[in-house]
């Protein structure tokens, strides 16, 4: 690894961002920590196009952390409905209540404190720090992995190696050094997304990849249908699923605190 190679990589990323960056994404037009937190939770396991409209509607309903904290969970889940992974809606609702109760309504800046909030895993907490506070954390996610593995871990011969995040992280740190954290990671995300759209697939080359289970026919499908029926005042037993599947979904929804 040479500084010249890292500098060349930066140049490619910045040039792409200048010409093709997704500057119009709504969460890139704000530095409000609450709005950034909402966007980061929504973007977990969900494609950007699906998030955009839900993000706007969610903030129309709950424009600040106190309005979200005051709202009943049923109302929050109704607005969240259709985005999937409804536990995330409960997590962000719980986090809002914790922020109001323990942090005077202000999203904490400290990484360790952020990690204490509901739904705040290592990546999400660091992403809030980067995009809300411009702190120099280094983010590793699917677009970043795509860009870094494609450029710095070329395939040699017939053997395809699988790389861990611990191998990618040192290069990510080198590339991010001296860059504006917020803009650099936006640029890197966009470049990685561009590579994926153009056929660069690194799923078989990373150790963290797990194929997402199909929604159709899954317990998630039944759970989502039950919550949607509840918002509309319908009996869940009227849904086109077996009583056994409905029963299992109800048990899991109760366990997760969603009903």
Distance, CA of 177 to CA of 131 (rounded, Å):
16
Residues 6+ apart with CB under 8 A from 9: 151, 152, 175
Distance, CA of 176 to CA of 181 (rounded, Å):
7
Least Cα distance to 253 among 245, 42, 95 occurs for 245
Distance, CA of 26 to CA of 123 (rounded, Å):
20
Distance, CA of 33 to CA of 108 (rounded, Å):
9
Q: Which residues are catalytic?
A: 40
152 neighbors 171 (Cβ within 8 angstroms): yes
The neighbour count for residue 79, using CB atoms within 10 Å, is 19
Least Cα distance to 248 among 213, 219, 216 occurs for 219
Distance, CA of 27 to CA of 35 (rounded, Å):
7
């Amino acid at each position: 690894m040479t500084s010249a190679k890292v500098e060349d990589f930066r140049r490619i990323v910045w040039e792409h961002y200048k010409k093709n960056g997704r500057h119009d994404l709504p969460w890139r037009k704000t530095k409000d920590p609450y709005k950034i937190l909402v966007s980061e939770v929504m973007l977990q396991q969900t494609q950007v196009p699906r998030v955009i409209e839900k993000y706007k509607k969610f903030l129309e309903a709950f424009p600040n952390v106190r309005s979200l904290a005051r709202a009943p969970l049923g109302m929050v889940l109704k607005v969240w409905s259709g985005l999937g992974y409804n536990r995330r809606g409960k997590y962000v609702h719980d986090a809002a209540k914790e922020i109001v109760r323990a942090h005077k309504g202000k999203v904490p800046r400290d990484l360790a404190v952020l990690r204490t909030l509901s739904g705040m895993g290592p990546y999400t907490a660091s992403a809030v720090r980067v995009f809300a506070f411009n702190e120099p954390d280094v983010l590793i996610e699917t677009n970043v992995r795509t860009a870094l593995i494609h450029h710095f871990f070329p395939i040699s011969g017939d053997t395809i190696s699988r790389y861990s995040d611990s191998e990618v992280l040192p290069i990510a740190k080198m590339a991010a050094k001296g860059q504006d954290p917020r803009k650099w990671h936006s640029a890197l995300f966009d470049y990685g997304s561009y590579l994926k759209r153009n056929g660069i697939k690194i799923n078989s080359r990373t150790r963290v990849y797990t194929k997402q289970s199909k929604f159709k026919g899954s317990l998630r499908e039944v759970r989502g249908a039950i919550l949607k029926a509840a918002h509309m005042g319908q009996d869940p037993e009227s849904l086109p699923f077996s009583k056994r599947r409905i029963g299992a979904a109800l048990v899991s929804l109760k366990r997760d605190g969603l009903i």
